[in-house]
Amino acid sequence: MKGLVIKEPWISLILTGQKTMEMRKTRTKNIGRIALLNRGYIWGYATLYRCEGPLSKEELLQRVDQHCIPAERIISPDFQYKFGWMISQVEKLQNPEKYNHPRGAQSWVNLSLL
């Protein structure tokens, strides 16, 4: 299983169902069930079912309810997140599970190798 590293506050918004689109700078081909990772713990699981983009600033502004990024960040000249990774079927763990984070892993962790 693959695990996706997600920073706060975004992982909390995903785990509570408020965020259904994770914004990234690149496309992904990792479609399917994934673990949601932050600070050395698996906080839950979700299904990454589609990658959309590149999305224009106008499209991003229309979909703030899905990605939760404030409009002022989207319209700033240095905003680089153009790909929406669509997430559903989120399952939050009651007791987060520790895992060993491989050195250098920034986005994806192959949990089956740990």
pLDDT at 113 over 70: no
Give the confidence band of 25 by pLDDT, cuts at 50, 70, 90.
very high
Residues 12-32 have a mean pLDDT of 98
The kind and range of the H/E element at 15 are helix 10-15
C-alpha 49/C-alpha 28 separation (Å) is 10
Average pLDDT value over all residues in the chain: 96
At 71 the three-state DSSP class reads helix
Instruction: Give the domain extent around 82.
Output: 2-100
* Residue 109 counted as domain residue: no
pLDDT at 52: 98
* Residue 86 counted as domain residue: yes
Q: CA of 84: how far to CAs of 12, 40, 52, 90, 98, in Å?
A: 17, 24, 5, 16, 27
Eight-state DSSP code of residue 88: E
Residue 32 sits in a domain whose CATH number is 2.30.130.30
pLDDT at 112: 75
pLDDT at 79 over 70: yes
* Residue 94 counted as domain residue: yes
Q: Checking DSSP bridges between strand 21-24 and strand 83-98, what pairing results, if any?
A: antiparallel
Q: Mind listing the pLDDT tens digit for each residue in 96-109?
A: 999 999 999 999 99
Provide the domain count of the chain: 1
Q: CA of 28: how far to CAs of 10, 68, 86, 96, 98, in Å?
A: 18, 20, 11, 25, 25
